[in-house]
Structure 1
Amino acid sequence: MVKKIPIALIYARLFLGIWIILLSLFEVNHYSFWAITLLSIGLLTDVFDGIIARKLNISSEKLRRLDSSVDQIFFISVAIAAYIQCPDFFKANYTKLIILLSAELLIYVFSFIKFRKEIATHSIGAKIWTLFLFATLVEIMVHCKSTVLFELCLWIGLATRIEILAITFTLRKWTNDVPTIYHAVKLRQGKEIKRNELFNG
């Protein structure tokens, strides 16, 4: 039963995303408080599902791919909920958001073309970007605007998408949990890489 905790946390994040959309659609009282609470819980499930899986020695390719896909659905759900509440922010930043989304789509398309699988690099850069994305979404939920944080989120997001694309290009075969482009180069050379016990592997 304990070994089912990681997958339960992953699916919990999926339902949390749907829940946040419903809160936004129905314009519940104290929406920002509830949405930020659920977003925070979702972020924590993302942190601990992998850690627990590695501690239980049940981390697998299937689990890591599922984790990566649900992460995408979760943050897209939160973004949709934020758009419902604050459409003017998204309209004002339409071009920048399209560029960021296009970069995200590009790495998925390239991975499918090359490996017939979605990406699941779980790179260090992507984890850092997730924190900036979290902070930006919180600011939007509270104020319906974001300036400095949004710009940081945009440029860090683009930089990390470029690194993930480079990682995917460099790898000879599909591999999950590749911390950086440096590690991808080592894998291409047939060398072993060291992964952080808590955050990768």
Structure 2
Amino acid sequence: MNRTTAPRQSLRALPWSLVVLRLALAPGIVWAAASGRPDAVLSVCVLIALLSDIYDGVIARRLGCDTPAIRVADSLVDTVFYLGVLAALWLRKAAVVRREWPLLAILLTLECVRYVVDLRKFGKSSSYHSYLAKTWGLVMAISLILVFAFSRGGLLLGIALVLGILCDVEGLAMSAILPQWQHDVKTIPRALALRRAMLAGK
């Protein structure tokens, strides 16, 4: 490897580093909650995870290394991180979890159903990164920062959970529409257009 390609290769590893960072934050936020660290630390963990989630995709696209593998990993790590957040929320704000439990139960059930459906149909989890999913991620992160740092944002958290449920319904619809695995499908109309193109290609 010459001197000019070495820095380029290092930069191409940056999106994966951000994904791994978010993965490490899952047990990190649970440890912070269990060990009595200030609530502000939990909020910072969520903020760092949000920024890493935004910029791993941005950087990957800029560097031309936005592969299906990193998109799938990105989606899976998001799920792992927010399971860690749920555990931290239970440790620190159990009343919030109890209040939102009906929505949480629906969301967790739909998440499991999606993974099963996608694995059976495509052999791997979906990674649609739709506009609705991006909105859900942003609203969820902001609501959790408010809940952890200021014990506020309960209404916003409820809205975030409803968005998550709608996102899972959208994801299931996309998986039903698409005959083949496809990443980064922003809307259901886009999924329908891809379906027509895929079937026409056959």
TM-score, reference length from structure 2? 0.88
Residue range with higher mean Cα deviation, 101-110 or 1-10: 101-110
Q: Could you tell me which of 2, 9, 12 is aligned with 1:3?
A: 12
Q: Given the alignment, which residue of 102, 106, 114 partners 1:107?
A: 114
Q: Secondary structure at the match of 2:128?
A: coil
Name the residue aligned to 1:161. 168
Q: Which structure carries more helix by proportion?
A: 2
Return the match for 1:26 from 30, 35, 60: 35
Q: In the TM superposition, what is the alpha-carbon distance from 1:144 to its structure 2 partner?
A: 4.5
- Aligned counterparts, 1:170-181, within 5 A: 170-181=177-188
1:185 aligns with 2:192: yes
Matched AA of 1:7: W
Unaligned residue ranges in structure 1 (runs of 5+): 192-201
Shift of 1:148: 2.0
Alignment of 1:8-157 (within 5 A): 8-28=17-37, 31-144=38-151, 146-157=153-164
> Do the aligned residues in 1 keep the contact of 2:143 with 2:154 (CA within 8 Å)?
no
**What is the Cα deviation at residue 146 of structure 1?**
4.5
Cα displacement (A) at 1:131:
1.1
Any gaps of 5 or more consecutive residues in structure 2? 1-9
CA distance in 1, matches of 2:26, 2:81: 5
1:134-166 CA-to-partner distances (Å, cap 9, x unmatched) read: 122123213546442133112222222111111
Deviates more, 1:4-13 or 1:128-137: 128-137
State the one-letter code of the partner of 1:57: G
The answer to whether the 8 A contact 1:20-1:38 is kept is: yes
Taking the aligned partners of 1:54 and 1:15, their CA distance within structure 2 comes to: 23
**Deviation digits for residues 84-122 of structure 1 (CA, Å, limit 9, x no counterpart):** 111122123322210111122221111111111111111
Which structure has the greater CA radius of gyration?
A: 2
After TM superposition, what 4+ stretches of structure 1 lie above 4 angstroms from structure 2? 143-146
Q: How many residues align?
A: 189
Identity %: 30
Q: TM-score normalised to the size of structure 1?
A: 0.88
Q: CA–CA distance in 2 between the matches of 1:55 and 1:157? A: 28
* CA distance in structure 2 between the aligned counterparts of 1:95 and 1:147, rounded to whole angstroms: 14
Distance 1:120 1:58 in 2: 16
